[in-house]
């Protein structure tokens, strides 16, 4: 018998039934995100047509404003998350401050959602994979009122769900609610995300390292020596410039992704709340590890501001441990002179 198709909606609902504590609220939120991903996917796939269809300037064929795709994705996510009533606020890499979501039927939502609506958007124009990253927390502020800043500044270990969508040769949604990681491939012929990668587990080690080698001279000494070591170990360098795509490969083939501190970004470039924490939750749930270049676990960092940056070293557990040991040994020998 042909394998039964399991859609994202079916899977989410089944998983909800598997866990007595699960509530319909998180299910509704995940389904809203799935809808937003389908809408964004449609526009990402048409992006190249904007010029061909003669959509010029600020108006498209139907007289609507043609937005930059990342702002379009941002607005669609906020719109879809405002439908279910489960979300009381969102924070986005694209918005300076968080956005309160008004209650539906006077009941404030119990969750906040943080996202990077279109990660790697500069790659759109050259038809390279881009992604959406999301992270869900239970609010901690008084539920009788609107969301507050403290709801968004929680440690990554407090996430109740996290996921990403990669818009590539196919569109795949990967997410976790803390009970493993599963992947769903969009079947455009039926407009459904279908279970395609059950219980993803990252290989313990791998042959790939992913870093922007162009910044080599701007890395600190330990990181330069570690990169030299990767080359000496005949590891293969793969770097797309979209965090979601670089980490998606590593999740399936094994490897290590690094965005260390540089002179330009002394705290690292990637955003702790919208990129590092959600990708770290997924990676740890798939058996991987994720630390910063001070060698502390990313998900233990206490955020102090919405757009806080972090350095990150994430991937196969053995490779992250080896990088940590290499840097510790190198720093110690440096101190000893």
31 with 37: CB under 8 angstroms? Answer: no
Longest dimension (CA), the chain: 69
Does the footprint of ligand P6P cover residue 241 (CB under 6 A)? yes
Phi, psi of 160 (to 5 degrees): -100, -20
Applying CB under 6 A, which part among 222-230, 238-246, 287-295, 309-317 lies near ligand P6P? 238-246
Applying CB under 6 A, which part among 94-102, 147-155, 229-237, 239-247 lies near ligand P6P? 239-247
Of 88 and 256, nearer to ligand P6P (C-beta) is 256
Of 248 and 269, nearer to ligand P6P (C-beta) is 269
Cα separation, 73 vs 30, whole angstroms: 16
Provide CB contacts within 8 A for 81, sequence distance 6+: 29, 32, 33, 36, 87, 90, 101, 113
Does the footprint of ligand P6P cover residue 303 (CB under 6 A)? no
Does the footprint of ligand P6P cover residue 95 (CB under 6 A)? no
Smallest distance, ligand P6P to C-beta of residue 295, A: 20
Does the footprint of ligand P6P cover residue 163 (CB under 6 A)? no
Residue 306, H or E segment: none
Cα separation, 118 vs 94, whole angstroms: 9
Of 101 and 298, nearer to ligand P6P (C-beta) is 298
244 with 164: CB under 8 angstroms? Answer: yes
Smallest distance, ligand P6P to C-beta of residue 182, A: 23
Binding to ligand P6P (CB under 6 A) within 198-217 occurs at 212
Does the footprint of ligand P6P cover residue 38 (CB under 6 A)? no
Helix (H, G, I), strand (E, B) or coil at 295: coil
Among 119, 222, 284, 292, binds ligand P6P (CB under 6 A): 119
Of 212 and 253, nearer to ligand P6P (C-beta) is 212
The residue count for binding ligand P6P (CB under 6 A) is 9
Helix (H, G, I), strand (E, B) or coil at 302: coil
Look up residue 76 and give its two tokens: 């669609």
249 with 255: CB under 8 angstroms? Answer: yes
Applying CB under 6 A, which part among 24-32, 149-157, 236-244, 300-308 lies near ligand P6P? 236-244
**Look-up: residue for tokens 């997924």?**
282
Binding to ligand P6P (CB under 6 A) within 242-301 occurs at 242-243, 269-270
Query: Which positions touch ligand P6P (CB under 6 A)?
Result: 119-120, 122, 212, 241-243, 269-270
């Amino acid at each position: 018998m042909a394998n039964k198709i399991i859609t994202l909606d079916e899977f989410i609902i089944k998983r909800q039934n598997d866990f007595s504590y699960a509530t319909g609220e998180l299910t509704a939120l995940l389904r809203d995100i799935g809808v937003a991903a389908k809408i964004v996917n449609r526009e990402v796939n048409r992006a190249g047509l904007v010029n061909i269809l003669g959509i010029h300037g600020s108006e498209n064929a139907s007289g609507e404003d043609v937005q930059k795709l990342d702002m379009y994705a941002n607005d669609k996510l906020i719109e879809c998350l405002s439908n279910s009533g489960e979300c009381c606020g969102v924070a986005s890499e694209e918005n300076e401050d968080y956005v309160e979501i008004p209650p539906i039927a006077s009941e404030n939502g119990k969750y906040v959602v943080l996202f990077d609506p279109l990660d790697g958007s500069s790659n759109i124009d050259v038809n390279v994979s881009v992604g959406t990253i999301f992270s869900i927390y239970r609010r901690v502020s008084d539920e009788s009122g609107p969301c507050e800043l403290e709801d968004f500044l929680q440690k990554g270990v407090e996430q109740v769900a996290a996921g990403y969508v990669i818009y590539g040769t196919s569109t795949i949604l990967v997410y976790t609610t803390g009970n493993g990681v599963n992947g769903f491939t969009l079947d455009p012929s039926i407009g459904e995300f279908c279970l395609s990668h059950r219980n993803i587990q990252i290989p313990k080690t791998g042959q790939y390292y992913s870093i922007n080698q162009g910044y080599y001279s701007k890395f600190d000494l330990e990181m330069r020596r570690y990169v030299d070591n990767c080359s000496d170990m005949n590891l293969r360098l793969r770097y797309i410039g979209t965090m979601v795509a670089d980490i998606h490969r590593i999740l399936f083939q094994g490897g290590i992704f690094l965005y260390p501190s540089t002179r330009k970004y002394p705290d690292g470039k990637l955003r702790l709340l919208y990129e590092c924490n959600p990708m770290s939750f997924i990676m740890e749930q798939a058996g991987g590890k994720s630390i910063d270049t001070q060698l502390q676990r990313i998900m233990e960092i206490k955020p102090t501001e919405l757009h806080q940056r972090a350095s990150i070293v994430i991937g196969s557990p053995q490779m992250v441990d080896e990088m940590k040991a290499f840097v510790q040994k190198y720093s110690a020998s440096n101190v000893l002179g």
